[in-house]
Amino acid sequence: MSPAYLLRRLLAVALVLWIVTIAVFAITMILPGNAAIMILGEYATPDQVAALEERLGLNRPAAFQYFEWLFNLLQGDFGMSLRLSLPVSEVVGSAFRNSAMLAATALVTVTVVAVPIGMLAAVKRGTKADLGISLVAYVGTAMPEFVTATLLLVIFAAPGNPLLPAGGFIPPGESVAGFFNHVILPAGALGLILTAHIARQVRSEMSDVLASDYIRAARLKGLRERRVIRGHALPNSLAPAVAVISLDVGYLLGGIIVVEEIFAWPGLGRLLILALENRDLPVIQAITLLLAMVYALSNLLSDIVIAALDPRVRYE
Amino acid sequence: MSELIRHPTGMVGAGLLSIIALTVILGPFIAPYDPQAFHPAVRLTGPSAAHWLGTDQFGRDIFSRLLTGASPTILFGVGATALGVLAGSIIGVTAAVAGGWVDSVIMRTLDGLLAVPDLLFTLLIVTILGGGIGEAMLAVAVAFTPGMARIARSSVLSIRTREYILAAIARDESRAYIIVQEVIPNAIGPIIVEATIRVSFAIMIGATLGFLGLGAQPPSTEWGLMVAEARQYMYRSPWVVAVPGIAIAVAALGFNLFGDALRDAFDPRRRRR
């Protein structure tokens, strides 16, 4: 992979993020409801509101506020949370760590489960195993996270004899067992739809590979089926699998909003819903930007991995 | 069309969609009870001869609520997708036909918007517009627009240099004629396929918004809202949440299966297998 390719991709990511800052800022500027009134309560006098707006800088022109905000962002300053009176970086930082733990657990589990299942279905195409996997995957992709989460709670966390806790969070630093106990249900709710989707996509990509001419050539020259699969089909299916997983990261980042709310997981999703309810603009802006950044960087990472796996991409 | 039905996924998908369509149209008329009527004597009872799918926390008949809830749930998905496809196609076709810097500006803006996860984008817009089923529908449509615009654009670009387009240009047809008569009919396949699959996502997002209290409002019988309202009682009476939850999954499954079958039918490369 050439440095020029990497540089071009990095520039593209930077451009995308800059456009996101404009979109995020524009959206938060037209949010109804006045942050000053939200802070002071509905009985505030107009004078008090005006004074607070002055202090928070909410009464200046939008373009001025945007550039000031962008300038501060570049220095790592996300402003103060209007509601919590704490620096946004502090509030969002700890929530980000908690969300990252949940998302990473879900993503690793999904990858480990979904990719082999999808490949198995493709290799056993047309058999009962394939039919079973495809059926489960189809049903799985049709279950929104809140339905999966609710059903998981009913099955595993009924108050009489709960197998797993119904919500909450224990930092792994405090108790590793406690952390895993609490992460299983939310990660499961996040993971089911993703597992189903990724398994289906991997099956379809691998089926294309298995139908290709070089696989036919490998079979015709008398290689055993195992060699054909391991030596030829598998390596060529990895790059598409990485592409599918990285696209689903965007879906995962949306899913954590609902799942964290249901399982009382103190992460970005829960914080976002609280911030939206309170019109806490700096927090909303920071979270949206952060999630977009994670998504853009994960796409970049996957492009690099794909280029490393597949020489055809590298030399294009 | 016969190709579609012969395929098992197409057959099941078409079957499910027919059931869904019938429920949307006839549901309110065949509901055995008034979906809003309280029956205090039979609160949270399980399935029985009188109440096929049991009753909820107010003794309302779940089967009747399910039947009347089909229309806000399904029409939400179809409506939001249709709006998103329309707006996205206009933007995408404009970008592809215009080319040059117009295309670049539109595409880079879309890239930026696509970096924001769909659900997050929808939540931001719903907060701007205020909760409610109409607002939520508009929000999902806006969130779908960038993705649909990209697909419409690439679909148009892929046929731009085909012989029939070149022939129309050689015949000195007008730009409008070429776009309406030649480009759109030939580029619409991938757009329809994507739209069908997206209806299932729109249904799921709509139900999620209802669940979060940002979509349909009580006393609507929208299925996501039904799950949210019954959550307090879910351990005592699991069917109160399971029935609307499964209904959402069945509806989404129907559109997914049908969309997949459509894609196979449109793509001759896949048809053989």
pLDDT of res. B271: 47
Query: Which residue, among B76, B107, B111, B116, would best test binding to A if mutated, counting the most A CBs under 10 Å from its CB?
Result: B116
- Cβ neighbours of B118 in A, within 8 Å: 250-251, 254
- Cβ neighbours of B235 in A, within 8 Å: 154, 158-160
Q: Render B179-237 in DSSP notation, one character per residue.
A: IIIIIHHHHHHHHHHHHHHHHHHHHHHHHHHHHTTSSS-TT---HHHHHHHHGGGTTT-
The answer to whether A264 touches A270, Cβ cutoff 8 Å, is: yes
Task: State the DSSP code for B61.
Answer: B
Instruction: Choose the closest CB to B128 out of A15, A32, A211.
Output: A32
Q: Looking at chain B, which residue has its C-alpha nearest residue A262?
A: B212
Contact A258 B125 (CB under 8 A): no
Instruction: Choose the closest CB to A292 out of B115, B248, B256.
Output: B115
Question: A239-289, pLDDT tens digit by residue?
Answer: 888 888 888 898 899 899 999 999 989 999 999 999 888 878 888 888 998
Mind listing the pLDDT tens digit of every residue in chain B (273 residues)? 566 666 777 888 888 999 999 988 888 888 787 888 788 777 777 787 777 777 877 878 888 888 988 888 999 999 999 999 999 999 998 898 888 899 888 888 888 888 888 888 898 888 888 778 889 999 999 999 999 999 889 888 888 878 888 888 888 888 888 888 888 888 888 888 889 889 999 999 988 998 888 888 888 888 888 888 888 888 888 888 888 899 999 999 999 888 888 887 776 555 444
In this complex, is the C-beta atom of B120 within 8 Å of any C-beta atom belonging to chain A?
Answer: yes
Cα separation, B20 vs B30, in Å, equals 14
Question: A14-51, pLDDT tens digit by residue?
Answer: 888 898 888 888 877 776 666 666 667 767 788 887 88
Distance of CA B246 to the CA centre of its chain: 17
Per the prediction, chain A carries an average pLDDT of: 85
Distance of CA A288 to the CA centre of its chain: 12
Question: A134-178, pLDDT tens digit by residue?
Answer: 888 888 889 999 999 989 988 888 887 788 888 888 888 888 888
In the numeric block, which tokens belong to residue A300?
Answer: 């970049």
The residue among B107, B89, B73, B116 whose CA lies nearest residue B215 is B73
The residue among B226, B255, B65, B117 whose CA lies nearest residue A142 is B255
Question: A78-102, pLDDT tens digit by residue?
Answer: 888 877 778 888 889 889 999 999 9
In this complex, is the C-beta atom of B11 within 8 Å of any C-beta atom belonging to chain A?
Answer: no
pLDDT of res. B273: 42
Residue A190: band (very low, low, confident or very high) from pLDDT cuts 50, 70, 90: very high
Task: State the DSSP code for B42.
Answer: G
More confident residue, A208 or B42: A208
Contact B115 A284 (CB under 8 A): no
pTM of the model: 0.87
pLDDT of res. B267: 67
Q: For the complex shown, is ipTM > 0.95?
A: no
Query: Which residue, among A8, A11, A147, would best test binding to B if mutated, counting the most B CBs under 10 Å from its CB?
Result: A147
Q: Looking at chain B, which residue has its C-alpha nearest residue A273?
A: B123
- Cβ neighbours of A250 in B, within 8 Å: 115, 117-118
- Cβ neighbours of B208 in A, within 8 Å: 144-146, 258
Question: A217-247, pLDDT tens digit by residue?
Answer: 888 888 888 888 888 888 888 888 888 888 8
Give how far Cα B75 sits from Cα of B69, B123, B143, B222, B246, Å: 10, 20, 17, 10, 18
Contacts 24+ apart (CB under 8 A), B17-26: B17/B254, B17/B255, B17/B258, B19/B254, B20/B70, B20/B74, B20/B250, B20/B251, B20/B254, B23/B67, B23/B70, B23/B74, B24/B70, B24/B71, B24/B74, B24/B75
pLDDT of res. B199: 92
pLDDT of res. B272: 44
- Cβ neighbours of B245 in A, within 8 Å: 143, 147, 150-151
Cα separation, B264 vs B273, in Å, equals 9
Instruction: Choose the closest CB to B227 out of A19, A141, A147.
Output: A147
Amino acid at A193: I
pLDDT of res. A32: 63
Instruction: Choose the closest CB to B117 out of A158, A159, A250.
Output: A250
In this complex, is the C-beta atom of B234 within 8 Å of any C-beta atom belonging to chain A?
Answer: yes
Closest Cα of chain B to A248: distance in Å?
10
Burial class (CB in 10 A: 0-12, 13-18, 19+), B101: exposed
Closest Cα of chain B to A5: distance in Å?
18
- Cβ neighbours of B250 in A, within 8 Å: 142
Q: Render chain A in DSSP notation, one character per residue.
A: --HHHHHHHHHHHHHHHHHHHHHHHHHHHT-SS-HHHHHH-TT--HHHHHHHHHHHTTTS-HHHHHHHHHHHHHTT---B-TTT-SBHHHHHHHHHHHHHHHHHHHHHHHHHHHHHHHHHHHHTTTSHHHHHHHHHHHHHHT--HHHHHHHHHHHH--TTS-SS-SS----TTT-HHHHHHHHHHHHHHHHHHHHHHHHHHHHHHHHHHHTSHHHHHHHHTT--HHHIIIIIIHHHHHHHHHHHHHHHHHHHHHHHHHHHHHHT--SHHHHHHHHHHHT-HHHHHHHHHHHHHHHHHHHHHHHHHHHHH-HHHHT-
Contact A17 B120 (CB under 8 A): no
Query: Which residue, among A130, A150, A206, would best test binding to B if mutated, counting the most B CBs under 10 Å from its CB?
Result: A150
Contact B200 A142 (CB under 8 A): yes
In this complex, is the C-beta atom of B236 within 8 Å of any C-beta atom belonging to chain A?
Answer: no
The residue among B218, B229, B206, B69 whose CA lies nearest residue B135 is B206
pLDDT of res. B182: 82
DSSP β-bridge partners for residue B61? B55
pLDDT of res. B4: 61
Contact A254 B112 (CB under 8 A): no
- Cβ neighbours of A159 in B, within 8 Å: 235
